[in-house]
Chain A
Amino acid sequence: MNVDEERRATFRAGQRAILQSLPGAGAWGLVSGVAMVKGGLAVPWAIFMSLTVYAGSAQLAALPLIAGGMPLWVIVATGLITNLRFVIYSAALRPYFAQESTGKRAALGFFMTDFTFTLFMRTAQEGRLPEQHRDAWFAGVCTNNWITWQISAITGIVAASYVPTEWGLEFTGTLALIALVGPALTARPALVGAVVAAVIALLAHPIPYRLGLFIAALAGITAATLAESWSKPAPPAVEAS
Chain B
Amino acid sequence: MNEPITGIALGAVIVGLALSTFLTRTSFLLAGARLRLNPRIEIALRYAPVCTLSAIIVPDVLMHAGTALDLSLLNPRLIGALAASLWLCASRNILGCLASGMLAYSLARILL
Contacts and interface: CB of A to CB of B under 8 A. Distances in A.
Q: Return the 4 tightest CB-CB contacts between A and B, nearest first.
A: A69-B2, A220-B51, A109-B26, A201-B55
Given A53-B14, A184-B50, A205 B59 contact: yes
Interface of A: 20-21, 23-24, 40, 42, 45, 48-49, 52-55, 58-59, 62, 66-70, 72, 75-77, 79-80, 83-95, 97-98, 102, 105-106, 108-110, 112, 114, 117-118, 121-122, 124-125, 167-168, 171-172, 174-185, 189-190, 193-198, 200-202, 205-206, 212-213, 216-217, 219-222, 224-225
SS of B interface (majority): helix
B60 to A, nearest CB: 5
Given A69-B5, A197-B51, A202 B105 contact: no
B74 interface: no
B27 A220 contact: no
A212 B59 CA distance: 11
Contacts of A94: 28-29, 32, 36, 42
A122 B37 CA distance: 21
Contacts of A89: 25, 48, 52
Given A91-B45, A220-B52, 20 more contacts: A20-B94, A68-B1, A70-B2, A80-B23, A85-B52, A87-B27, A93-B28, A105-B29, A109-B30, A121-B49, A179-B98, A181-B54, A183-B88, A194-B50, A194-B51, A197-B52, A198-B54, A200-B55, A216-B51, A216-B55
Contacts of B18: 49, 52-53
Contact of A224 (B44, B61, B85, B89): B44
Interface string B10-31: 1111111111111111111110
Interface residues of B, number: 75
Contacts of A21: 94
Given A177-B53, A220-B47, A76 B85 contact: no
A78 to B, nearest CB: 9
A197 B10 CA distance: 36
A177 B14 contact: no
